[in-house]
């Protein structure tokens, strides 16, 4: 079944809100085995809503609208859909009664335009709204299915799942679509694509690269007559992919890189401390985004000033003066000292130039040293990162995590 | 001028990512006085990209694409746009050289498919990408303007603002539209909306609330025959708004809360150190996102474990044992000790429960104490925040900044 999503609302066209309705609906429809080829956003304008609706009727069997169901003059979706399909609007007595009872409870008279929300296209089904006053609509006509949902996500979400999905399930039947996302670290998107080129060709399952921040994500999607059949197709493809890039795969689906590393620390009974200069807290922040990170993460020293590198971490002044704050020696000393001071098993340290100012020909913006200390070793590695301050901070924190991950995989 | 936005990427159609490119571009285009009537999302499919592009060429003068410019086989936007317009692809020698130099610096050979990114449609202008390898494209043909931008927002945003806007500005000319965003901290969106209700009604200038994280942003947009005329309308409206909520306004447009606070520290010749428990580095990260923050930010102690609160910060064991790690006493001691240890003028400290686990009836998840120390004072304040771990961390870091801002405003 081919589906299509149309979001109605001038605030979308002005960029005042992000179209989270579309991403929610897209994921839900994919889960139902409905292929969505198009998403459209259009303003609160009768003629243009009609135009995109007509186009959708030509190319899709299911059209899901979000937004434009409220009580104001601007809310046009329901009326325009009915008009386009040649259906007249009829009063839904029960919903009218329900609206009146809400206002009775509030003790305020119901504004007259509110009753507009109780009118629905003839032959349509009303989908009750348990979180607002605008009901949804489900209708079928000439082989097309049209679903109208309210714009606010907290109203749309439960209405779609509880009211619309049971109706749609009957129409899609049979075929199942299952997706799995494999997550890779330490490989560029281009290199992954080159190694996996042959796998990107297949039709079932399909394999597609997704953009992850500093990571590569690969989505495998399989269709089958049953969920089990689709899952088996995925399992075969995953094995093939693992043969090629298995050493880069750190997890899947909702896994995060910092979370997987945290689990590895926990499994080994090891603790971690960090010492940050140019990442300025980003590394510790990433690590502590994982619930339960307090079980293995002791904390961090954000030593932004040279003085604090000495005072808080005890990095010797002769190292700072002799090699500079941005040097392999300083990175190594930060890691070594942080590990000892905190009594941790591992320490990561980052020092570098995040820019935009402060670079020099010998030490340009983007130059970063990452240090690591563990039982019996201290080391530091040099990197050059491109991009703005935000990107350099993010990339440096990522590469620090990657250094620890490589170590944990080997022990 | 009529504009239209087309986002390309199967991950959008599967709901794996939210179309933040579209909302960013929509707001930017509105600011340029370009009316956007349609936004479309389409998958990585040559035929369907062509189909939506042809439709867009019929109804719009400017078409802005995002996504599908990368090095993989799946990245089809550039090639499909060229094909539809009957343009052949030519190698952009400079960008090819630039790509090779990046790999030379990294010391790894460039994957062959990477060179695909250096091909552009004949007659097109290449928009350099300073945060990635895929360049953007600007081209004009038969009265239509087409702009191609990379999908990742951190690449798209600076490229659009720095490279595409100057070119687009020449085309829009005539009537001027000017926008200003006022940024407020310490007031809820609902309260701001209530206080400013009357101002949301106007047609020129318009005032609209935007969603900021923990902040309230108000965009004033004015149209005039000249830029000066529009700016004067904005100035009048801004004065009116300042009369109502002026005490909450910390800055405007590209200002960030942490950046404005940093400037205030700098202007007063004061330094800052932070001590973080539940925010886990987030507060230091926010502060160090501002270029030049090393001039006033000495660093931070991320004391996640109880032991490190004692060892690194010298919070006395009797305080930790007597009042608990999440207490006003601990927050105050963290701030006081961090200030003294680092030799800073101000210290902020955060301790709390970010969840999802670790809460109790007396100390539920979301309970956070924020401490502050300065010349001659130490204080701590109690907060209850709602939401998930991510939200609690973010809100706690924001409120810590807000506490310092209130202090700086008063001295």
Sequence ranges of the domains in chain A: 2-169, 176-252, 257-409
Report whether pLDDT(B169) > 90: no
Collect the ranges in chain A with pLDDT lower than 50: 174
Which residue is it, tokens 């989908």?
A127
Q: Which residue of A has its CA nearest to B284?
A: A281
Question: How far is B311 from chain A, CA to nearest CA, in Å?
Answer: 7
The answer to whether the Cβ–Cβ distance between A285 and B287 falls below 8 Å is no
DSSP one-letter code for B255: -
pLDDT computed for residue A132 by the predictor? 83
* B13, B158, B279: residue with CB nearest A36: B13
The verdict on B337 touching A (C-beta cutoff 8 Å) is no
Measured distance CA(B117)–CA(B157) in Å, rounded: 19
3-state secondary structure of B67: coil
Q: How far is A22 from chain B (nearest CA, A)?
A: 7
Q: What are phi and psi of B345, to 5 degrees?
A: -80, -40
Instruction: Write out chain B residues lying below 8 Å of A33, CB-based.
Output: none
CA–CA distance, A398 with A202 (Å, rounded to integer)? 32
CB contact under 8 A, B305 and A299: yes
- Select from B37, B210, B341 the Cβ nearest to the Cβ of A16: B210
Token code pair at residue A256: 């995060």
Of B11, B72, B390, the CB nearest to A189: B72
pLDDT by residue (tens digit) across B173-201?
A: 646 778 898 999 998 877 887 888 888 87
Distance from CA of A366 to the nearest CA of B (A): 12
How far is residue A349's CA from residue A333's CA, in Å, rounded to a whole number? 9
Neighbours of A235 (CB within 10 A): 13
- Nearest to A271, CA basis, from A300, A314, A308, A247: A300
Mean pLDDT on B269-295: 97
Q: Which residues contact A292 (CB under 8 A, 6 or more apart)?
A: A262, A266, B357
Instruction: Answer whether A1's CB lies under 8 Å from A62's CB.
Output: yes
B2-169 maps to CATH 3.40.50.1950: no
Tell me how far apart the alpha carbons of residues B409 and B411 are, in angstroms, rounded to a whole number: 6
Closest partner CB to B284 (pick from A16, A19, A302) = A302
Q: What's the gap between Cα A281 and its chain centre?
A: 22
Tell me which residues of chain A, numbers 22 to 41, contact chain B at a CB-CB cutoff of 8 Å. Answer: 22-30, 36-41
Element (H, E) at B87: none
Whether A386 and chain B come into contact, CB under 8 Å, resolves to: yes
Paired strand residues for B220: B180, B207
Rounded Cα distance between B375 and B411, Å, is 11
DSSP state of A294: G
So what's the pLDDT on residue A364? Answer: 94
ipTM value: 0.77
- B283 near A CB under 8 A: yes
* Among B317, B315, B314, B268, residue whose Cα is nearest residue B295: B268
Could A307 and B343 be called an inter-chain contact, meaning their C-beta atoms sit closer than 8 Å? yes
Contacts of A209 in chain B (CB under 8 A): 72, 74
| Inter-chain touch B22–A15, beta carbons under 8 Å | yes
Fold type of domain B176-252? Alpha-Beta Plaits (3.30.70)
Cβ of residue A297 closer than 8 Å to a chain B Cβ: yes
Subunit contact B15:A38, Cβ cutoff 8 A: no
> Measured between beta carbons, which residues in chain A are less than 8 angstroms from residue B201?
none
- CB within 8 Å: B300 and A304: yes
For chain B, the C-alpha Rg in angstroms (whole number) is 26
Could you tell me where the beta strands, DSSP code E, fall in A246-296? 249-252, 272-276
Could you give the angle at which helices A46-59 and A77-85 cross, rounded to 10 degrees? Answer: 50
Contacts of B52 in chain A (CB under 8 A): 38
Q: Give the number of other Cβ atoms within 10 Å of residue B111's Cβ.
A: 18
Architecture of domain B257-409: Alpha-Beta Complex (3.90)
Measure in Å the smallest separation between the Cα of B203 and chain A Cα atoms: 15
A302 vs B305: CB contact, 8 Å cut-off?
Answer: no
The 8-class DSSP code of residue B365 comes to T
Instruction: Please report the pLDDT score of residue B212 as a whole number.
Output: 65
Strands A89-91 and A119-121, by their bridges, are antiparallel
Please give the C-alpha separations between residue A290 and each of A261, A285, B228, B356, in angstroms, as whole numbers: 10, 9, 50, 10
Q: Average model confidence (pLDDT) for chain A?
A: 92
Per-residue pLDDT averaged across B36-48, rounded?
Answer: 95
Sort out which chain B residues have CB atoms less than 8 A from A52's CB and list them. 38
C-beta atoms surrounding B374 within 10 Å: 20
Interface A–B counts its CB contacts (< 8 A) at: 309
pLDDT tens digits for range B66-88: 999 999 888 999 999 999 999 99
Q: CA of A310: which chain B residue's CA is closest?
A: B342
CB contact under 8 A, B312 and A311: no
What spatial distance separates the first Cα and last Cα of chain B, rounded to whole Å? Answer: 49
* Residue from A288, A308, A278, A293 nearest A397 by CA: A278
d(CA A256, CA A117) in angstroms, rounded, equals 43
User: Does B31 have pLDDT greater than 70?
Assistant: yes
Whether the Cβ atoms of residue A116 and residue A145 lie closer than 8 Å to each other: no
Q: Which residues of A touch B106 (CB under 8 A)?
A: 384
**Looking at chain A from residue 47 to 76, which residues have their Cβ under 8 Å from any Cβ of chain B?**
48, 52, 55
Enumerate the residues of chain B whose CB falls inside 8 A of the CB of residue A25.
15
Residues written for chain B: 411
Pick from B102, B276, B285 the residue to mutate for testing the A interface (most A CBs within 10 Å). B285
Give the residue from chain B lying closest to A278, CA to CA. Answer: B288
Task: Tell me the C-alpha to C-alpha distance, in Å, between residue A183 and each of A194, A261, A353, A394, B318.
Answer: 17, 13, 29, 17, 45
Instruction: Give bridge partners of residue A120 from the DSSP assignment.
Output: A90
B72 to A387: CB separation less than 8 angstroms, yes or no: no
> Is residue A393 a contact partner of residue A279, using CB atoms and an 8 Å limit?
yes
Q: Say how many CA atoms lie within 13 Å of B217 toward its Cβ.
A: 18
B289/A contact by beta carbon, under 8 A: yes
CB atoms under 10 Å from CB of B270, counted, come to: 17
CA-based nearest distance A143→chain B, Å = 23
Q: Which of A210, A354, A387 sits opposite B130 (nearest CB)?
A: A387
- Distance between alpha carbon A246 and the CA centroid of its chain, in Å? 23
DSSP H or E segment with residue A106:
helix A93-106
Examine domains A176-252 and A257-409 and report if their fold is the same: no
| Mean of per-residue pLDDT scores for chain B | 93
Tens of pLDDT, residue by residue over B202-229, are 888 988 776 667 898 898 988 888 888 9
Q: 């807290």: which residue's tokens?
A: A281
DSSP label of B95 = H
Q: Which of B7, B256, B305, B392 to mutate to test the interface with A (most CBs of A within 10 A)?
A: B305
A383 in reach of chain B (CB within 8 A): no
- Residues of chain A with Cβ-Cβ distance to B25 below 8 Å are 15
Is A314 exposed, middle or buried (CB count within 10 Å of its CB: 0-12, 13-18, 19+)? middle
CB contact under 8 A, A308 and B292: no
How far is it, in rounded angstroms, from Cα B21 to Cα B8?
10
Indicate yes or no: CB of A304 within 8 angstroms of CB of B294.
yes
The answer, yes or no, to whether residue B235 has pLDDT greater than 70, is yes
Q: CA nearest A34 in B: which residue?
A: B14
Instruction: Provide the token pair at B4.
Output: 């239209």
The H-or-E segment that residue B147 falls in is strand B144-149
Q: Do the chains contact at A301 and B301, CB–CB below 8 Å? A: yes
Q: How many Cβ atoms from other residues are within 10 Å of residue B142's Cβ?
A: 6
Residues whose CB is less than 8 angstroms from the CB of residue A122 and which lie 6 or more positions away in sequence, other chains included: A87, A88, A89, A90
Nearest by CB to residue A294, choosing from B286, B305, B311, is B305
């Amino acid at each position: 079944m081919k589906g299509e999503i149309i979001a109605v609302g001038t605030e979308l066209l002005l960029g005042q809100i992000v179209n989270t309705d579309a991403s929610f609906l897209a994921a839900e429809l994919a889960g139902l085995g409905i292929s969505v080829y198009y998403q459209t956003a259009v303003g609160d304008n009768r003629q243009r809503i009609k135009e995109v609706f007509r186009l959708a009727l030509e190319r899709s069997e299911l059209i899901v609208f979000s937004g434009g169901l409220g009580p104001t003059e601007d809310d046009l979706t329901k009326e325009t859909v009915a008009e386009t399909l040649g259906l007249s609007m009829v009063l839904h007595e029960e919903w009218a009664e329900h609206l009146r009872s809400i206002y009775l409870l509030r003790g305020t008279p119901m504004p007259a335009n509110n009753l507009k929300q109780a009118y629905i296209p003839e032959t349509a089904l009303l989908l009750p709204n348990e979180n607002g006053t605008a009901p949804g609509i489900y209708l079928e006509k000439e082989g097309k299915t049209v679903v109208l949902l309210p714009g606010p996500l907290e109203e749309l979400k439960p209405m779609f799942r509880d009211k619309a999905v049971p109706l749609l399930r009957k129409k899609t039947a049979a075929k199942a679509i299952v997706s799995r996302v494999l997550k890779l670290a330490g490989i560029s998107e281009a290199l992954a694509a080159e190694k996996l080129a042959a796998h990107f060709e297949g039709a079932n399952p399909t394999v597609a690269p997704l953009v992850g921040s500093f990571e590569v994500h690969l989505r495998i999607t399989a269709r089958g007559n049953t969920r089990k059949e689709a899952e088996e197709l995925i399992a075969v493809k995953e094995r093939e992919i693992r043969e090629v890039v298995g050493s880069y795969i750190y997890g899947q689906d909702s896994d995060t890189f910092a979370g997987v590393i945290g689990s590895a620390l926990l499994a080994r009974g090891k603790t971690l401390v960090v010492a940050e200069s140019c990442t300025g807290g980003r590394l510790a922040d990433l690590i502590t985004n994982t619930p339960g990170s307090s079980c293995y993460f002791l904390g961090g020293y954000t030593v932004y000033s040279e003085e604090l590198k000495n005072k808080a971490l005890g990095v010797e002044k002769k190292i700072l003066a002799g090699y500079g704050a941005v040097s392999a020696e300083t990175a190594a000393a930060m890691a070594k000292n942080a590990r000892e001071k905190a009594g941790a098993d591992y320490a990561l340290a980052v020092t570098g130039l995040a820019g935009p100012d402060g670079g020099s020909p010998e030490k340009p913006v983007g130059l970063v040293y990452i240090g690591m200390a563990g039982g019996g070793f201290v080391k530091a590695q040099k990197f050059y990162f491109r991009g703005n301050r935000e990107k350099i901070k993010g990339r440096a924190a990522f590469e620090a995590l990657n250094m620890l991950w490589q170590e944990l995989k080997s022990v």
